[in-house]
């Protein structure tokens, strides 16, 4: 006779089923992206046929039954070069002049002014239609990018769930016992261990005897029951355990912790810095450091850089990879017309379990890592956010160790330094700097950069992150 499955076994089966469904959804999104990709691409110039159509329309409205020059019929002939010449002239000047027309036109046409006026009007309409068409295709490309990145994320989540090891049985007895001693009944439990040794637990429980317990206290109990590293309650979990049965999510804290320091200076004559930064928690056991420099200075530059930082942070917190987040934000800003006011982005994501740093840049200056073997510079990015699409940011990974430092600066800091090789000058300065408290280091670095001029010529921001073993 088959024994009834345990609640944990049922949850594990649900986990596998969910992983399978996520993979199926990822395949569907990839299929949609491929369907979009099969469509025709964009064209930045008017085509031969569009130019010919403009000539035909002008001829039908102006020329009537006239056949003196037969300009349209001549333009249709294969190898006719003057139509291409007219199109390029219109692109350069915004109109076609008499001197751009062929000799046949000058010798034969009796209504030159009317014809040119109508031709320019038709070419203007064709150009406007082309602009809107390309705008639509850019929007389509943005949708394709989103489909692809969402598919990638779902596949990643699916793979994580499928590879997760169910370790519920190992810890179940001790967890139930300690929670029972604190007047809480664990009705169901699932504990998973992932590839990087990270664990997360789902506890369906309630209090007994009318008591209430904070979820933070519950995480302390789980830390003692599971042994090893400390546990913390997930941000999306209720804060109080009551008599009502609820499911609470807990995550094992990482091996490392990070503290940071920030120092800033405003460009001379301004009251607001155009730089924006963040130092925050993304996914569980992940720290995000980002720095964006808006074009120019003041409130307008701040609005641009703040938008870049906020959008990127939101995507990272919901599970997007760093590369996917940067690509999506770049597409959004491009469609919003931000190419006139681009902003740089310097992004570092640190896994607090493994100590692995992932760095990506778009238009930003170098990032500097202070470690056991000296100071290393991660190369600057290519173009700012919102300038071109598609963009493929380069990902650089580095292993951080206890007492290492991550230093991110805006370009105003480096530009203030003397000499031609400013990055190398800054790197040599950091070689002599002691790795102390991150805030003290940020203040000292800013003071060093400001010492070369009476007032900053550009906004300056220094962000220092220190990683430490718990």
pLDDT digits (tens, 9 = 90+) for 109-137: 777 788 788 888 888 787 787 777 777 77
Confidence of residue 13 (pLDDT cuts 50, 70, 90): low
For residues 258 and 281, what is the distance between their CA atoms, to the nearest angstrom?
Answer: 10
Residue 3 above 50 pLDDT?
no
In terms of pLDDT, which residue wins out, 98 or 385? 98
Max distance between CA atoms of the chain, in angstroms, equals: 105
Residues 411/392, Cβ–Cβ less than 8 Å: no
Domain 256-469 class?
alpha beta
Q: What percent of the chain has pLDDT over 90?
A: 30
As beta bridge partners, residue 405 has 370, 466
User: Which of 352, 328, 174, 319 shows the shortest CA–CA distance to 251?
Assistant: 352
Give percent of the chain above pLDDT 70.
79
CB atoms within 10 A of CB 318: 11
Contacts of 333 (CB under 8 A, 6+ apart): 307, 308, 311, 339, 342, 343, 385, 386
Question: Six-digit token pair at 267?
Answer: 């460009």
Token output for 278: 């963040």
pLDDT in tens, 223-261: 999 887 789 888 778 899 999 999 999 988 888 999 999
What string of DSSP letters covers 109-177? -S-HHHHHHHHHHHHHHHHHHHHHHHHHHHHHHHHHHHHHHHHHHHHHHHHHHHH-EE-HHHHHHHHHH
Would the pLDDT of 79 be above 50? Answer: no
Domain ranges, ordered by start, for the chain = 1-162, 164-252, 256-469
Taking the C-alpha atoms of residue 319 and residue 236, their distance in angstroms, rounded to an integer, is 14
Is the separation of the CB atoms in 153 and 179 below 8 Å?
Answer: no
Is residue 33 a contact partner of residue 144, using CB atoms and an 8 Å limit?
A: yes
The confidence score (pLDDT) of residue 123 equals 81
pLDDT-based confidence at residue 40 (cuts at 50, 70, 90): very low
């Amino acid at each position: 006779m088959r024994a009834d499955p345990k609640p944990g076994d049922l949850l594990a089966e649900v986990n596998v089923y969910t992983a399978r469904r996520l993979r199926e959804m990822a395949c569907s999104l990839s299929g949609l992206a491929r369907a979009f990709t099969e469509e025709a691409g964009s064209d930045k110039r008017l085509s031969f046929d569009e130019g010919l159509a403009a000539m035909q329309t002008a001829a039908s409205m102006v020329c009537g039954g006239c056949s003196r020059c037969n300009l349209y019929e001549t333009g249709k002939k294969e190898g006719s070069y003057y139509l291409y010449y007219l199109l390029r002239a219109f692109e350069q000047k915004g109109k076609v002049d008499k001197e751009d027309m062929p000799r046949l036109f000058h010798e034969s046409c009796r209504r030159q002014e009317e014809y040119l006026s109508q031709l320019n009007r038709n070419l203007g309409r064709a150009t406007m239609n082309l602009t809107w068409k390309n705008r639509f295709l850019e929007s389509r490309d943005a949708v394709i990018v989103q489909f692809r990145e969402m598919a990638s994320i779902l596949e990643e989540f699916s793979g994580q769930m499928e590879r997760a090891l169910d370790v519920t049985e190992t810890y179940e007895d001790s967890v139930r016992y300690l929670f029972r001693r604190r007047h809480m009944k664990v009705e169901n439990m699932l504990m998973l261990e992932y590839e990087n040794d990270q664990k997360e637990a789902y506890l369906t429980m309630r209090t007994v005897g009318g008591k209430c317990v904070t979820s933070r206290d519950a995480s302390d109990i789980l830390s003692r029951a599971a042994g090893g590293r400390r546990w913390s309650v997930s941000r999306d979990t209720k804060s109080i355990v009551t008599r009502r049965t609820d499911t609470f999510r807990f995550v094992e804290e990482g091996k490392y912790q990070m503290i940071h320091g920030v120092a800033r200076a405003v460009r001379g004559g301004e009251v607001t810095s155009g730089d924006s930064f963040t130092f925050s928690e993304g996914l569980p056991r992940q720290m995000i450091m980002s720095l964006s420099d808006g074009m120019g200075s003041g409130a307008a530059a701040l609005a641009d850089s703040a938008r870049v930082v906020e959008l990127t942070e939101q995507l990272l917190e919901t599970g997007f990879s760093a590369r996917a987040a940067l690509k999506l934000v770049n597409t959004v800003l491009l469609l919003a017309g931000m190419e006139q006011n681009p902003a740089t982005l310097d992004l570092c994501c640190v896994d607090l379990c493994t100590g692995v740093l992932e760095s990506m840049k778009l238009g930003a200056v170098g990032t500097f890592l202070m470690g056991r073997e000296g100071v290393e510079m991660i190369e600057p990015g290519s173009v700012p956010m919102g300038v071109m699409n598609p963009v493929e940011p380069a990902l650089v990974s580095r292993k951080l160790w206890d007492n290492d430092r991550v230093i991110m600066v805006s370009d105003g800091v480096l530009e203030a330094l003397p000499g031609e090789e400013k990055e190398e000058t800054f790197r040599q300065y950091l070689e002599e700097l002691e790795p102390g408290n991150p805030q003290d280091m940020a203040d000292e670095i800013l003071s060093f950069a400001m010492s070369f001029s009476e007032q900053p010529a550009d906004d300056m921001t220094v962000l220092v992150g220190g990683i430490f073993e718990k």
